Amino acid sequence: MKKIIVAIDGFSSCGKSTMAKDLAREIQYIYIDSGAMYRAVTLYCLRHRLFLPNGEVNAPSLEKEMGRIRVSFRLNPETHAPETFLNDENVEKDIRTMEVSAMVSPVSAIPFVRTALVAAQQEMGKEKGIVMDGRDIGTTVFPHAELKIFVTASPEIRAQRRYEELKAKGQKADYEAILENVRQRDYIDQHRETSPLRRAEDAILLDNSHMSIEEQKEWLLQQYHKATQE
Ligand code: DC
């Protein structure tokens, strides 16, 4: 069967990565979480003190170091889940903290960061057979992707999901703070100058506010079968 590119975009915390990961496993495609790449660069900035006291990024310093930042993915041999590596260090857990979530938007709004990460993402998709999720996959990274999905859900439902995710991992979680972070990121993601979050004209819209993970999985698999038959 011909291999395609599946691009899944949408708002933060609306279950994109769960559905993308499930689909990739089912159809034996590579799964790439592009948000993890922006998170890894943010972690690098936090560790190297590249944030200014006003919360902005020290862009000239980051630009000089950008060539030294390598983000890659490796499969965990036990769970078979892909994990994020920053310069060969497994940072899968470190990139999911509230600290990184709170600082990732300004980093992902920087044009040279996007240029570098988009180029790396396009390289990963060269052979097709890939499911990638993010904000600009169907619009900028793979405008010719054979299947594009744009996922959305209400901010309250998304905050609740992230809250439960953090709790399940034994991390600290405050629902109101998470909801505020979700709203802020929606705003910044949609209003930044470079590659703002928007639905590609040919993307299929999915509002999963009231769908179970199983229902979503089934729906997405159907879309995949349709796209590969066309
Ligand atoms: O999907 P996520 O919440 O892990 O993404 C983290 C941040 O990265 C999010 O605030 C927006 C940014 N991002 C982006 O700008 N472009 C992408 N393709 C993926 C994520």
Mean pLDDT over residues 12-41, rounded? 94
Tell me how far apart the terminal alpha carbons of the chain are, to the nearest angstrom: 12
Task: Assess whether the C-beta atom of 152 lies below 6 angstroms from ligand 1.
Answer: no
Q: Does the pLDDT at position 214 exceed 80?
A: yes
pTM beyond cutoff 0.75: yes
Q: Does the pLDDT at position 78 exceed 90?
A: yes
Q: At 76, is the pLDDT very low, low, confident or very high (cuts 50, 70, 90)?
A: very high
Can you give the CATH number for the domain in which 105 is found?
3.40.50.300
Q: CB-based contacts of 183: which residues, under 8 Å, 6+ apart?
A: 155
pLDDT reported for residue 122: 98
Q: Does the pLDDT at position 9 exceed 90?
A: yes
Mean pLDDT over residues 163-176, rounded? 91
Q: Considering only CA atoms, which residue is closest to atom 15 of ligand 1?
A: 108
pLDDT reported for residue 80: 85
Mean pLDDT over residues 93-106, rounded? 92
Neighbour-count burial for 14-34, b at 16+ CB within 10 Å, e otherwise: bbbbbbbbbbbeebebbbbbb
CA angle (17 as vertex; 47, 70 as ends), nearest 5: 35
> What's the CA-to-centroid distance between 139 and ligand 1, angstroms?
14
Q: Does the pLDDT at position 19 exceed 90?
A: yes
pLDDT reported for residue 189: 84
pLDDT reported for residue 223: 97
Tens digit of each residue's pLDDT (9 = 90 or more) over 102-144: 899 899 999 999 999 999 999 999 999 999 999 999 999 999 9
Q: Does the pLDDT at position 2 exceed 90?
A: no
- What's the domain count of the chain? 1
Task: Assess whether the C-beta atom of 96 lies below 6 angstroms from ligand 1.
Answer: no
Kind of pairing between the strands at 204-207 and 147-152: parallel
pLDDT exceeding 70 applies to what percent of the chain?
A: 100
Q: How far is CA 212 from CA 18, 207, 219, in A?
A: 11, 11, 11
Q: Give dist(CA 101, CA 110) in Å, integer.
A: 16
The number of the ligand 1 atom at minimal distance from the alpha carbon of 16 is 1
Contact 40, 71 (CB under 8 A): yes
The number of the ligand 1 atom at minimal distance from the alpha carbon of 9 is 18
Q: Does the pLDDT at position 152 exceed 90?
A: yes
* DSSP run (H or E) holding 218: helix 213-229
Q: At 48, is the pLDDT very low, low, confident or very high (cuts 50, 70, 90)?
A: very high
Q: 111-115: list long-range contacts, CB under 8 Å, 24+ apart.
A: 111/193, 111/194, 112/59, 112/63, 112/66, 113/38, 113/41, 113/62, 113/66, 114/194, 114/195
Closest to 144 (Cα-Cα) out of 162, 130, 163, 158:
130
Task: Assess whether the C-beta atom of 39 lies below 6 angstroms from ligand 1.
Answer: yes
pLDDT reported for residue 188: 85
pLDDT reported for residue 59: 97
Domain of residue 223 covers: 5-229
